[in-house]
Structures are given as C-alpha cells and as structure tokens.
Amino acid sequence: MVLMLDGVVIADHTVVVALGITAEGEKRILGLWEGATENAAVCRSLLEDLVARGLEVTPGILVVIDGCKALRAAVRNVLGQSAVVQRCQVHKKRNVLEHLPEKERNAVSRKLDRAWRETNYDKALKALQKLADELEDRYPGAAASLREGLEETLTVTRLGLPELLVKALKSTNAIESAFNKVRAAARNVKRWPNGRQVLRLSAAGLMAAEEGFSRIKGYRQLPLLAAALEREVAPKLSSTVKTA
C-alpha cells in the first residue's frame, strides 16, 4: 500500500533502499540498489527490479520519497499514474534551512511545522506559498527549494488522512531508523574492497533492523488510505485507457 524510498551513503557508495508497508501496517524491506550517487539510473533500476519481482501498484500506491529529483523522475517513469507521491517533510525542511543563515532557521522551521500541521489542505498550501514569497527577496535559494515539489509535501493532507496516518506517512523516518543499523555496522569496517561488500553489509543491517520493526501507528486506519488512493488514481488510469 505504501512504498518508501531513501538513500544512505556508505564509504563512497550510495545505497537506495525500498521499504514497503502492507495493508496490515507491517513494514518490509523490499530491495536495495547501489551506485556512486542517488542518480536517476540507480533509482530506476531499483524500481524496475521491484516491479519485475512482483510489486503491485494498482489500484494505487502511496510513494514517500526524499527530496531527490532523480527519485521523483524514476517514480514517474516506472510506476506512472499509479503512484501518488508524498515528499518527505523532514528532508524538505532540511533542504530549505540549509539555504538560510543560522539566525533565520528557527523562525522558518516553526512556520514550516505550523503549515504542515494544518489539517485543511488549501490553508496549508497557502501558508507554504506565503512563506516562499517572504523568503524570495532575501533568500531566493531557500524560496526555490521550498517551491520545488511544494504541493507534494502535503499529499497526505490532501488525501484527507487521519492524524496518526499523516504522522506515519509524511516522511521517510521509517527507513531512517533502519539506516541506523547499517551505519552502526559500517563503523566497524576499516577497508571497503568493493561495492559488493557495501551491498552485503547494508542488506545485513537492514535485515537486522527488519526483525525489530513494529506496525505503523494508525494501521487500523489504512483502509481510509486505500479508498483515498483509489479515488485519486482510478480516474487517471481510466482516462489513460480511453485515450489509448
């Protein structure tokens, strides 16, 4: 029902990881792919591998990604209209704040959090657009970072999901917690002969993390997500079929 995608850097390699959430709220590591960077080819290879191994994306799937443009492009190219994308709010905030001087970060962080807590989609969208306008003259880089994919940071709000599901699905934190296991294992390695060792260690760390996974908070409300995804995706797929 949900696919989360994020990357972790080990040695000089980036490992892109896919985590799935079932209709019962259980988290599963679905796959990983290695590359020099989190680029379009790596992301596309991972998604194509998932589809080849049986990943079902109809009648709709929520895909939660970090702020990487390559990931967004890969999701669009491989999963098409079946994917409804939520941009990770944690990554978005980090990207915006990196364009600001230290003295401005707390105030902007609070405004971002306030907008993302708003349960009305239109109000939340206007608040974020207003913040981008306020940043435009003094910090155009921060404004551009906020505007990029802005609406997709509010997808879970637009779908009308209850609070517990919004908290669970507004970011890729579920993968970040698994990455801690990978980083802990990597700290003990003194020499990395090749990318295959990076993949083996990453897979071992992710499998260890999976053993401690619990169901997401609000899992009993996942039927609401299923209904929202079907409402969102069905008309698009129907239109595509008619056009064909």
Whether 105 maps to a domain, the answer reads yes
Confidence band, pLDDT 50/70/90 cuts, at residue 239: low
Whether 195 maps to a domain, the answer reads yes
DSSP assignments along 130-167, one per residue: HHHHHHHTT-HHHHHHHHTTTGGGGHHHHTT--HHHHH
Question: What's the CA gap between 203 and 207, in Å, rounded?
Answer: 6
In this predicted structure, what is the pLDDT of residue 241? 52
Same-domain check for residues 10 and 119:
no
pLDDT digits (tens, 9 = 90+) for 88-102: 999 999 999 999 999
Mean pLDDT over 204-225 rounds to: 94
Whether 234 maps to a domain, the answer reads no
Tokens representing residue 11 in the block: 């040695």
Domain span at residue 106 reads 89-152
Same-domain check for residues 78 and 138:
no
Count of domains for the chain: 2
pLDDT digits (tens, 9 = 90+) for 57-80: 988 999 999 877 888 899 999 999
Indicate the pTM of the whole model.
0.92
Whether 159 maps to a domain, the answer reads no
Same-domain check for residues 98 and 83:
no
**Phi, psi (deg, nearest 5) at residue 65:** -130, 160
pLDDT digits (tens, 9 = 90+) for 104-159: 999 999 999 999 999 999 999 999 999 999 999 999 999 999 999 999 999 999 99
In this predicted structure, what is the pLDDT of residue 240? 60
Same-domain check for residues 2 and 117:
no
Confidence band, pLDDT 50/70/90 cuts, at residue 242: low
Same-domain check for residues 53 and 83:
yes
